[in-house]
Amino acid sequence: MKLEKQIKDTAIHAALRGGEILLKNRGKAKKVSYKGRVNLVTEIDLRSEKAILKILKRKFPDFDILTEESELEKKDSEYKWIIDPLDGTTNYAHDFPSFCVSVALEKKGEVILGVVYNPLLDELFTAEEGKGAFLNRKKIRVSKTKKLSQSLIATGFPYDIRESEINNLDHFTNFAQKAQAIRRAGSAALDLCYLAVGRFDGFWELKLSPWDTAAASLLVVEAGGCVTDFRGSKFSIYKKEILATNGKIHSQMLKVLKLGRF
């Protein structure tokens, strides 16, 4: 088996296993810890992460690993797994049906593989660099909407919304007056996947972490979309700004973002 296929199959296996744990334990998250005033973690996050890591390490023990709930495991590999075992933890803790598992692989600083699994709808999103984006093995494309005024867009708010003035409320107000509608579902990875499949036309958010965007941003690009920072410059998963669109409304969203810049 070629290394690329073995890596992809392993990532899918890990994401599906993590999703299985989330689904099996839905509504059973009794132990909730707080990493901040509104940033929480459940024992199910940790259980999902443990299962995912077990699968990845068994097949590729020498890869670096960056995950939300653990310390960086650095082994000086050119490969690095980037994992969110439960994106949408607050939703999950309240049994709100919007959460997923995200597994990405970075090679020499570039994300080359993205896998996002939505266990509630049994939707498996996958993308490989240069090979397109897929939902349950069917190729997907971003929407064709050309006007922001006719667009359904999505966003989220940072965990320090109570302390920081840079909290996205200004951008939300501006976009609410320009777009057809805005959704705030609480899972950045799923929002970006929904953009890749054409359900959303645009997405913006700030103060996200690499595990929030690594897999799903590749999906958007491979589905024909555009991903930058708020100034239109090259996006990096290690930056704190992301603007992702179908490409057709990108410049329109950039103009609105400029209105609210501090």
Model confidence pLDDT, tens digit, residues 119-162: 999 999 999 999 999 999 999 999 999 999 999 999 999 887 78
With 70 as the cut, is the pLDDT of residue 36 above it? no
- Give ranges for CATH 3.40.190.80 in the chain: 148-259
Domain 148-259 adopts which CATH fold?
Answer: D-Maltodextrin-Binding Protein; domain 2 (3.40.190)
Mean pLDDT computed over 111-115? 98
The pLDDT of residue 262: 45
Q: Which H, E and C letters describe 147-197, residue by residue?
A: CHHHCEEEECCCCCCCCCCCCCHHHHHHHHCCCCEEECCCCHHHHHHHHHC
Q: What pLDDT band is residue 186 in, cutting at 50, 70 and 90?
A: very high
Q: Round the average pLDDT of the chain to a whole number and report it.
A: 93
Residues 49-72 pLDDT 10s: 999 999 999 999 999 999 988 888
Least confident of 34-38, 90-94, 211-215: 34-38
Q: Which of 88-92, 103-107, 143-147, 212-216 has the lowest mean pLDDT?
A: 88-92
Q: How far apart are CA 255 and CA 221, in angstroms?
A: 21
The amino acid at residue 127 is: A
CA dist 86 and 32 (Å) reads 13
Q: Name the least confident of 23-37, 84-98, 103-117, 141-155.
A: 23-37
What is d(CA 107, CA 72) in angstroms, rounded to the nearest whole number?
A: 16
pLDDT score recorded for residue 238: 96
User: What is the reported pTM?
Assistant: 0.94
In the chain, ranges of CATH 3.30.540.10 domains: 3-139
CATH number of 3-139: 3.30.540.10
